[in-house]
Amino acid sequence: MKKYISFFRMRFIAGLQYRAAALAGIVTQFAWGAMLILMYQAFYAADAEAFPMSFQALSSYMWLQQAFLALFMTWFFDNDIFRLIMDGGIAYEICRPINLYDMWFTRNMANRLSKALLRCFPILIVAALLPDPYGMRLPVNVGAAFWFLITMILGYLVVVAFGMLVYIATFFTLSPTGVKLAAVSAVEFLSGAVIPLPFLPDNLRRVIELLPFASMQNVPLRIYSGDIVGEEIYYRFGLQLFWVVILIVLGKLLMGKALKRVVVQGG
């Protein structure tokens, strides 16, 4: 365990060095969040009663989405891992006295967390200072704040575990491009990153909410905004825990199968 903690620490510290990129990201994400909120305002102005979330709750959802984008963005991948697989560098990884899946999982956790910490606080502070209903407000109660933190961690783990499946799929293809495009296109919509899931038709939403993608950002952001309350929180928490275990077990099985068939040519 110590070696993985040390590896996490090294990758985390390395990620904190990219401050200029973080500043650019903060500006971009704040502008994007403001644009989305103003776009939704036009729809709410027509008929606010037609929407399943209050505009204030939607604003909190959008600001949290932008603040913690690095934790939940499924289109963020470590291209070094893809290069290791494609150019044969995987041979050096296999020679290390560690579990390859665990090392890559730790590496991705550190990369995402370092980026999120650099960007989230400025966005959260500015969003909290904005006037109602455009700004982000505190959770409805202490319980909502607690479950927001717990489910955010689990959602973060679901995202990393899913990303591991994309890396592993590259072992079975000639190029990672197709796998990445297919995965990102589907998951961005199904996770609530494009449109919050409550805005979808009920029958479609009920099916999507059973999938692992709805256990990513959808759950913690809706708990914070007050859209998921009461006993439903425990149900969503259970689903998240289920998908974390399933995706990790599936990833380890596929990684074992991939490493048995990997061939590295050259010398």
How far from chain centre, in Å, is Cα 40? 23
| DSSP conformational letter for 35 | H
Q: How many Å apart are CA 69 and CA 23, to the nearest integer?
A: 14
pLDDT in tens, 116-156: 888 889 999 999 999 989 988 888 889 999 999 999 999 99
Q: Indicate if the pLDDT at residue 255 is higher than 80.
A: yes
C-beta neighbour count of 254 within 10 angstroms: 18
Among 129, 118, 152, smallest CA distance to 222 is for 152
Cα–Cα–Cα angle for 104, 70, 241, rounded to 5 degrees:
65
Instruction: Identify the band that residue 59 occupies on the pLDDT scale cut at 50, 70 and 90.
Output: very high
Instruction: Identify the band that residue 109 occupies on the pLDDT scale cut at 50, 70 and 90.
Output: very high
Q: How many Å apart are CA 76 and CA 209, to the nearest integer?
A: 23
Amino acid 267: pLDDT: 46
pTM greater than 0.75 (yes/no): yes
- Encoded tokens for 104: 């890559």
Amino acid 82: pLDDT: 85
Among 12, 107, 17, 31, smallest CA distance to 69 is for 31
Amino acid 266: pLDDT: 53
Determine the average pLDDT of the residues in 20-28: 82
pLDDT in tens, 184-239: 888 888 898 888 999 999 999 999 999 999 999 999 999 998 888 889 999 999 99
Q: How many Å apart are CA 126 and CA 128, to the nearest integer?
A: 5
C-beta neighbour count of 249 within 10 angstroms: 11
Amino acid 8: pLDDT: 82
- Encoded tokens for 198: 């409550």
Per the document, the length of the chain is 267
Cβ(264)–Cβ(88) under 8 Å?
A: yes
Q: Which of these ranges, 15-19, 150-154, 180-184, has the smallest mean pLDDT? A: 15-19
Cβ(40)–Cβ(55) under 8 Å?
A: yes
SS3 content of the chain, % helix, strand, coil (to 5): 75, 0, 25
Q: How many Å apart are CA 211 and CA 236, to the nearest integer?
A: 11
Among 256, 89, 73, 100, smallest CA distance to 162 is for 73
Mean residue pLDDT of the chain comes to: 87
